[in-house]
Amino acid sequence: MTVPRQADVTAGVSGQANVDMLTSVSRNFISDTCTIPTDGQMLAALGATRGDDVYQEDESTQALEARIAKLAGKEAALFAMSGTMTNQLSIRAHLTSPPHSVITDYRAHVHKMEAGGIAMFCQATTDTVVPSNGIHITAEDIEPHLQLGNNIHYRPTKLLCLENTLSGMIFPQDEVIKISQLAKKHGLKLHLDGARIWNVAAVELESRGLDARKEEDLQVVLTDLLNPFDSASLCLSKGIGAPIGSAIVGSQEFIERARWFRKAFGGGVRQTGPMAAAADHALTYHFPRLSTTHALARKLAEGLKGLGITIVAPVDTNMVFFDPTSIGLNMTDIINRLESLPQPIRIRGERCVIHHQTSPQAVEEFIDTVARMKSESSVEVVVQNVNLSRKVGEKQVKKDYRLPY
Ligand SMILES: Cc1ncc(COP(=O)(O)O)c(C=O)c1O
């Protein structure tokens, strides 16, 4: 049986409570996880098979895994409950026994935001690297951190983990390739936290003039992006808006080892078909909307920048980091003012995230509200803004600014 495909049943939701929730998430800039399943996704879930995935007997789950493995150009894929789980399963599956260590960017989710999972599950040390260019780590940045050789005082490096996007910024593929060559030279594995690799793929498709609605075009791009990696974790519940789930891709042998750990982690879930089908629907119908999402992020960044606000990191995809102190405004005041609108807009701080259900009107109201606050305040500060260009060579972050995520 193939996974049921509904005609795109619009982006709508039924039931007043869900309509209200959709309005709420359309004005929520806290994360791209702040989305809700559409009726189309729920209908896809209804049409899913109901087999037991622990026994590998669910066709809808297997169809999603096969689809993602093919798109990624890898032998196999494994569906799991969350991005944290797929990262930690991957890292655990790569590592054998201590002593060993993993190299990551100092801001990496796998290091900072996964409850110390690497130490807990792998007994591994994390060596963190600060990017010398302020944007992404490079092979040159990584090299001095490698722990190689037989010195018994060392913690041998066994794995490098990259993140793409990181804070919405795209990792240049030529640098990914250099890092993968460094990994190969020293017999190290390379894992990608590709929670937002779909966003990178959407930008890449656009820049190559390919069609985001065509499976074969996405396959070409995603395969290229993931080719340097031994494994990757691809979140389904962020950019593309699945209610639940993330997938690991890699070799058949690696996926079987990850499946074993998934069981041990308590992540062997039984009737996963409806979740897989909702995610499959999102991949078909929400992925092509990512370029609109990115345009909306640029609109927000340009609107804020036009007011004299500093945009502190390049806006490559769906995230905007801003510093309002450049026009004498305080972040807490902005958060409170947006929250007190008749229809509240929610942000948590400098990081604003756009998703496929963000409303263009919310972006306009966001900018208008900050503009009103600016005109109410008498402070005028002249600032130099960063370039919003996507070209790597032109990227810069505000001097000495350390992105918190
Ligand atoms: C870059 C990155 N990786 C992994 C995760 C983990 O995903 P989950 O929340 O599904 O565990 C997140 C979550 O926000 C993330 O931003």
Q: What digits encode the pLDDT tens for the residues 360-372?
A: 999 999 999 999 9
Q: Are 215 and 232 in contact (CB under 8 A)?
A: no
Q: Which of 238, 246, 351, 355 to mutate to test the pocket of ligand 1 (most atoms within 8 A of CB)?
A: 238
Atom of ligand 1 nearest to the CA of 237: 10
Length of the chain: 405
Q: For residue 19, count other CB atoms closer than 10 A to its CB.
A: 12
**Domain residue extents for the chain:** 39-288
Q: Are strands 157-163 and 189-193 parallel, antiparallel or unpaired?
A: parallel
CA distance 179 to 176: 5
Task: List, for residues 263-317, the tens digit of each pLDDT value.
Answer: 999 999 999 999 999 999 999 999 999 999 999 999 999 999 999 999 999 999 9
DSSP string, 58-125: -HHHHHHHHHHHHHHTSSEEEEES-HHHHHHHHHHHH--SSS-EEEEETT-HHHHSSTTHHHHHH--E
Q: Would you state the pLDDT for residue 11?
A: 73
User: Ligand 1 mean position to 194 CA, how many Å?
Assistant: 9
- CA–centroid distance, 23 to ligand 1, in Å, is 24
Alpha-carbon gap, residue 89 to 237, rounded angstroms: 17
Query: 226 pLDDT exceeds 60?
Result: yes
Confirm if 189 and 93 have CB atoms less than 8 A apart.
no
* Mean pLDDT, rounded, for 364-385: 78
What are the C-alpha distances in Å from 225 to residues 201, 249, 285? 8, 13, 21
What band does 92 get if pLDDT is binned at 50, 70 and 90? Answer: very high
What are the residues facing 169 on neighbouring strands? 166
Count Cβ atoms below 10 Å from residue 358 Cβ, excluding itself.
Answer: 26
- Over residues 65-89, the pLDDT tens digits come to 999 999 999 999 999 999 999 999 9
Pocket test for ligand 1, best of 104, 105, 109 (most atoms within 8 A of CB): 109
Q: How far is the CA of 235 from the centre of ligand 1 (A)?
A: 7
* Confidence band for 2, pLDDT divided at 50, 70 and 90: very low
If one residue of 34, 113, 170 were mutated to test the ligand 1 pocket, choosing by the most ligand atoms within 8 A of its CB, it would be 113
Q: What is the pLDDT of residue 172?
A: 98
Report CA(25)–ligand 1 centroid distance (Å): 18
- Model pLDDT for residues 343-364, shown as the tens digit of each residue: 999 999 999 999 999 999 999 9
Q: Report how far Cα 265 is from the mean position of its chain's Cα atoms.
A: 22
Cβ of 206: how many Cβ atoms within 10 Å?
15
CA separation (Å) from 250 to 14, 69, 266? Answer: 38, 8, 21
Distance 30 CA to ligand 1 centre (A): 13
CATH class for the region spanning 39-288: alpha beta
The reported pLDDT for the residue numbered 382 is 45
For 180-196, write each residue's pLDDT tens digit: 999 999 999 999 999 99
Query: For position 147, what pLDDT does the model report?
Result: 97
Please check whether residue 10 is in contact with residue 67, taking contact to mean a CB–CB distance below 8 angstroms.
Answer: no
User: In this structure, are strands 246-250 and 189-193 parallel, antiparallel, or unpaired?
Assistant: unpaired
Does residue 56 register a pLDDT over 80?
A: yes
The pLDDT-based confidence of 391 (bands split at 50, 70, 90) is very low
Token match 């807009």: residue?
A: 345
Cα of 367 from ligand 1 centre, angstroms:
28
> From the alpha carbon of 166, which atom of ligand 1 is closest?
1
CB 271 within 8 A of CB 52: yes
pLDDT band at 378 (very low <50, low <70, confident <90, very high): low
Contact 241, 283 (CB under 8 A): no
The pLDDT value given to residue 402: 55
Spatial CA neighbour of 202 closest among 280, 283, 291, 299: 291
The binding-site residues of ligand 1, defined as CB within 6 angstroms of any ligand atom, are 82-84, 87, 109, 163, 193, 195, 235, 237, 246
